Chains A and B, each alone.
Chain A
Amino acid sequence: MRADLIDIQIEDFGNDVEISLSGSLSKAQLSAVREKLDSLMSGPGVFFFLNLERAHFAVDEYLEMFLDLMNKTRERNSTMVLLFRNEELLEYFSRYKNIFEIHESREAYKSSGLSKQLKQVGVYYGKKTGLRLSPSVAIAAGVLIMGWLITLFLIIAAQGKDIADKQSQIMALESQRDRYVQEIDKLESSIGPLKRLGVVEDTSQLNSFGAIRDWVSYLKHLENTRREE
């Protein structure tokens, strides 16, 4: 019945599974605790948090049990994290403090480093989906994809710049045209009264002579019209 003195609590949140042990754990309960934890941790889950804050270990054999459990979880590409903050347990686990992941709480572990957690989840899902890549291939594929992405970005940026230049040219030309139109209007208005009196002949309507500014041009024009005839 001593084995029945252990309190076990399991909280299943999908990838995260928190298992809390409480009570005084002596040698008599070792096999029962091992069996229960083994069974619980063989189920689905990526992160197995063992909350030991309210547990007291009376013998050292539990250290080996936890090492064993940690190896088994690693084999399943999962992670085992021990949760506690009390001094007594820190002392108990001091020999293996560099081996075990020890944190104060689940939240503390979550904020301890995103990359290792992503890696862990990646490894877990890699196993689950059957897609596995060696690190060099994964890096090469990553570099290639990044290269593609950068090139694409540069092309888009260059095209964007070109479009912006053309846009500014169009705008400049449009403003120039507007200026000329205004100037012509101004000139037309200034000669308007003279035209109404018949003093000035409107040559602007004579399209064929519109471009003739000197004698050379006039002669060229004559020659061209004769040839056409």
Chain B
Amino acid sequence: MKPVVSFLLQLSPQTAYGNLESVARNLSDGLEILLNYRKVKCSIFMDGPTMEMLKKTAKPLSIGKIKAGVDEGLVEFLGGGFYDPMLPLFPKDLQIRQLKKHRSKLKSFLGLEPQGYFNSSLVWEMGMISVLEECAFDYALVSEAAVREALGRNSPVSGWFTVEDQGSLMRVVPVSDELSKAIGEDDLRWREIAESYNHEEKPVVVLLDLPPQAEEIVGFFERLVDFVETNEVQTWPVSYIVNQLQPEGALSNLVSAGRKLGLPFAANTCREMLVQRPEINTLQKDLLNLFHRGKGNLQGKDLEKFYEELLPAMSPIFYRNLQDDEGMRSLKVRQWGFRYLQKAAHDLDSRMNFSGLRIDVSDFMLQGMKQIWVENPEISCLVDYNQGGILRLLNHKTPAVNLVNAWHDDGGPALFLAECLLPNEDLTAEQIGVLLAGRDRLFLEHYDYQVKRESGSAQVQLCGEQGYRVGEKQGVFLVKKELLFDNGSPRIGVAYEVANTTYQENPCYFGTLMELGLLESGEGPCIVVDGSKVKWDRREPFIYPDAKKFKVFDSSLDAAIELEFETPTPVFIGPIFSASSAAAPQMFQGIRVYPFWKSSLAASEKFECKMNMTLSKR
């Protein structure tokens, strides 16, 4: 019996988008090989940017050939999101916009309306059914593992099923994980595996990633043709399954966490990513915040144009826990994601003619606790007063950068303005680096907040008791932390008052920790102290003894932060590394800056200090 397979081709998640033109040219040549052979029928998914590039680079005859191939049923183009996002992570308005934009692009490119929906991450949730139905999709491709889970069986599943939710219906076609892997890895057992799916000559859907490197794409198509010819494989596009075969039954519930996202095996929804990785969660919440603000304040074309600005930030690369520029473990990808959002924020401000200061006390992170969002036309930041008043986000809108963008392998968020006590001992820079990375001496208790409005500015006053441990001693300090925001400048004033309410002396180093997602490029000078450039190799931590003005700048991002102290202050600076799968054990994830002050903090004594932070372009 001939194996019956529906090949589904998609661009690999590792595709070099920086070289998309070359990818598109090779894709066009590869498709020509496939269409010339005429015996391989398959389905293809291309995201919007690839399709646009293909249209731009392909020869007129190639487009004609592709159109003819579609008409003859040799090739089927699948629909999906324009940037191929994981839909359940986003509001319905943006989901629909992604799907419709891709659909209209496909229509203008090839003059066809896609019948099937595909998402390269194979994420599925029941809430998607009504959206897909609204966008005129007949069927969707889902992971076979999810269908097996829904059916409660371990045997291979092929054909198609129905799922319904809130009165909407969708046909779902499982994609075989096992056979895709076997064919993708040239496993000789593939025929045996295929047979287990091909009952009554039902085709099995096999998902193949195109090679990420442009020069390998044509070779891939040649191998595919060769594979079909040599093994006498009967091929069909995926739509054949839905159009020609009877349904296998109905599924009451279907959920899939997706593939190649870096999620733990036990995860059953892509939303698990938001719980697991605070960096991804912060990016998504920043996007939701912009979306809700835009939706509440803009109308008509302004709103549509603003939504367009948000769409690239929904790209799956920003929601994967992967490294090597495939996901958010890479600092470059995080910077890239926030850049899209900050551009959208800047666009929103200009469309709203926003000026002045906006303070929003709400559950920004959607975790059941409030945070304070402070925004002016230059900067925005998120103050988490329930967690030591740390800043979870610090966006500078003009260079479009979020400075609180470091990564921690322990799953904790990057911290900014997190107060930390170090013991009054003779510590080396390495030792301080280890203590700060340990994060167990931080003031992370709840503060009460007060917003005090003044002319042209506002103060967020935080006050509360914070537990401490210095050496053997433990106790509670009464801490007041004040953040001063101007109506229109990228400056934040910070003032501390730490009162020792105990009857014991607590000599210590009091400081504030800042974990910045900067200096990814790793070249050139990056620190200026009191007007003089300081050399630093970005690997070994060091302490600058007395600084009145301490500036860190990233020339590739065109972003800088300057700290100005009332009195000369020692500043620690060190790198943040994370584990990587490569031979090199460390991946650069940002820098740790820790200005600190020596304090005797005798019984009932108060310690006060102040500094100003200014964000600027380089």
* Bound Cα distance A4, B371 (Å): 10
Q: What's the minimum C-beta distance from B374 to chain A, rounded to whole angstroms?
A: 10
Partner of B369, one of A4, A6, A12, A45: A4
Take A4-B369, A7-B363, A8-B361 as given contacts and tell me if A13 and B454 are in contact as well, using a CB distance cutoff of 8 Å.
no
B450 at the interface (CB under 8 A from A): yes
User: Once the chains bind, are B360 and A12 in contact (CB under 8 Å)?
Assistant: no
Instruction: Return the chain B residue nearest A9 by Cβ.
Output: B360
CA distance A6 to B454 in the complex (A): 23
For A68-97 the 0/1 string (1 means CB < 8 A from B) is 000000000000000000000000000000
Give chain B's interface secondary structure class.
strand
Give CA–CA (A19, B545) in the complex, Å: 45
Chain A residues with CB under 8 A of B356: 11-14
B431 interface residue (CB < 8 Å to A): no
CA distance A177 to B369 in the complex (A): 97
B453 in contact with A44 (CB, 8 Å)? yes
Nearest opposing residue in chain B for A53, CB measure: B296
Say if the beta carbon of A50 comes within 8 Å of chain B.
Answer: no
Could you say which interface size class chain B belongs to? 10 to 19
Q: How many interface contacts (CB-CB < 8 Å) are there between A and B?
A: 53
The answer to whether A43 has its CB under 8 Å from any CB of chain B is yes
Contacts of B370 in A (CB 8 A): 4, 7
Q: Is B487 an interface residue (CB 8 A)?
A: yes
Q: Which residues of A contact B455 (CB under 8 A)?
A: 44
Is B359 an interface residue when CB atoms closer than 8 A count as contact? yes
A16 to chain B: closest residue by CB: B356
- Could you tell me if B361 and A17 are in contact, using CB atoms closer than 8 angstroms? no
Q: Mark B153-191, 1 if CB is under 8 A from A, else 0.
A: 000000000000000000000000000000000000000
- Tell whether, in the assembled complex, residue B453 and residue A40 are in contact, meaning their CB atoms are under 8 Å apart: yes
Q: Contact partner of A43 among B360, B362, B453, CB < 8 A?
A: B453
Residue of A nearest to B357 (CB): A12
Tell me, in angstroms, the Cα distance from A43 to B487 when the chains sit together: 14
User: How many angstroms between the C-alpha atoms of A86 and B56 in the bound complex?
Assistant: 51
- B384 shortest CB reach to chain A, Å: 13
CB-based nearest B residue for A54: B296
CB distance from B166 to the nearest CB of A (A): 25
Interface check A39, CB cutoff 8 A: yes
Chain B residues positioned under 8 Å from A10 (CB to CB): 357-360, 451, 453, 458
CA distance A45 to B356 in the complex (A): 12
With A12-B458, A13-B355, A14-B356 as contacts: A45 and B361 at CB distance below 8 Å: no
B453 & A7 in contact (Cβ 8 Å cutoff): no
Q: Mark A43-55, 1 if CB is under 8 A from B, else 0.
A: 1110000000000
A7-B360, A10-B358 known, 16 other contacts, Cβ within 8 Å:
A4-B369, A7-B370, A10-B357, A10-B359, A10-B451, A10-B453, A10-B458, A11-B356, A11-B357, A11-B358, A12-B357, A40-B453, A43-B454, A43-B458, A44-B454, A45-B453
